[in-house]
């Protein structure tokens, strides 16, 4: 019986010692070492979404009764150049290294409305980087507007600058109007620009497309380029 108190004392002592021992805990993964700053973690970058598919179904303005000139049917009465050499009209299929021009219909573009269009491809040979179409001379009135919709051909990855210039009656070239930058991922741009600055002048309007540093796949399209004479705009009286 003497052994019983001794055994009990040993067990009590063991339990007390076990409870007093420090318990090891696993370090947190972001705990800084003593005296050192916490590490800085860079966020994982998010992926950029792909550009939206272009839309080719925006109907043009209902302005046919006030159109005084359509460019597209007159395509081969214009002089087409790449700033270094004259181009054939229509262009020869498969030969667009120097630039290319072609008449298109709504069926060629997959449009759901009647429209004529111009396909204009800037020079692809890394020398000229643009295409210029100069149309027959005509007199501009105060109420005239240049109207068109800007596209890329379906399936092309074009990145271009459209612009409008003109030759005056003395044969001097001017390009005073805004540039219209266009990328294949954007919806169609509707251009409605006043030509009142040319009021009373007889000029040769010039449609221009330039690449934006890479001419590959720059299949640029002018849908229904035209001159609209606004019935509600009158020349101001002096």
Assign 196 a pLDDT band (cuts: 50, 70, 90): very high
CA distances from 108 to 45, 60, 102, 121, 135 (A): 41, 16, 11, 16, 23
Domain 64-229 has CATH 1.10.10: no
Residue 60 has pLDDT above 90, yes or no: no
Assign 210 a pLDDT band (cuts: 50, 70, 90): very high
Domain boundaries, the chain: 64-229
Q: Which of 180, 147, 185 is nearest to 55 (CA)?
A: 185
pLDDT, average across residues 77-87: 93
| CA separation for the pair 143, 227 (Å, rounded) | 10
Greater model confidence, 163 or 53: 163
Greater model confidence, 42 or 189: 189
pLDDT at res. 127: 76
Residues in the chain: 238
Residue range 7-51, pLDDT digits in tens: 444 444 444 444 444 444 443 333 334 454 444 444 444 444 444
Assign 59 a pLDDT band (cuts: 50, 70, 90): low
Burial of 219 (0-12, 13-18, 19+ CB in 10 A): buried
Residue 143 has pLDDT above 90, yes or no: yes
Q: Which of 223, 158, 216 is nearest to 185 (CA)?
A: 158
């Amino acid at each position: 019986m003497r052994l019983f108190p001794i055994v009990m004392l040993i067990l009590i002592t063991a339990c007390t010692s076990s409870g007093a021992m420090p318990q090891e805990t696993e370090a947190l993964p972001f705990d800084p070492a003593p005296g050192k700053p916490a590490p800085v973690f860079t966020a994982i970058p998010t992926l950029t979404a792909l550009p939206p598919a272009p839309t080719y179904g925006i109907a043009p303005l209902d302005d046919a009764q006030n159109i005084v000139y359509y460019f597209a049917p007159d395509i081969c009465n214009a002089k087409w150049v790449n700033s270094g050499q004259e181009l054939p009209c229509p262009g020869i299929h498969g030969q667009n290294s120097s630039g290319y021009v072609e008449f298109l219909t709504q069926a060629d573009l997959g449009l759901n409305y009647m429209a004529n269009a111009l396909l204009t491809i800037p020079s692809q040979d890394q020398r000229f980087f643009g295409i210029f179409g100069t149309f027959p001379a005509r007199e501009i009135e105060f109420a005239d507007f240049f109207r068109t919709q800007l596209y890329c051909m379906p399936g092309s990855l074009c990145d271009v600058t459209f612009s409008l210039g003109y030759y005056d009656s003395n044969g001097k070239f001017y390009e005073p109007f805004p540039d219209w930058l266009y990328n294949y991922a954007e919806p169609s741009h509707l251009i409605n620009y006043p030509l009142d600055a040319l009021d009373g002048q007889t000029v040769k309007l010039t449609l221009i497309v330039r690449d934006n540093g890479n001419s590959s796949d720059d299949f640029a399209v002018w849908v229904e380029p035209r001159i609209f004479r606004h019935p509600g705009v009158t020349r101001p009286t002096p």
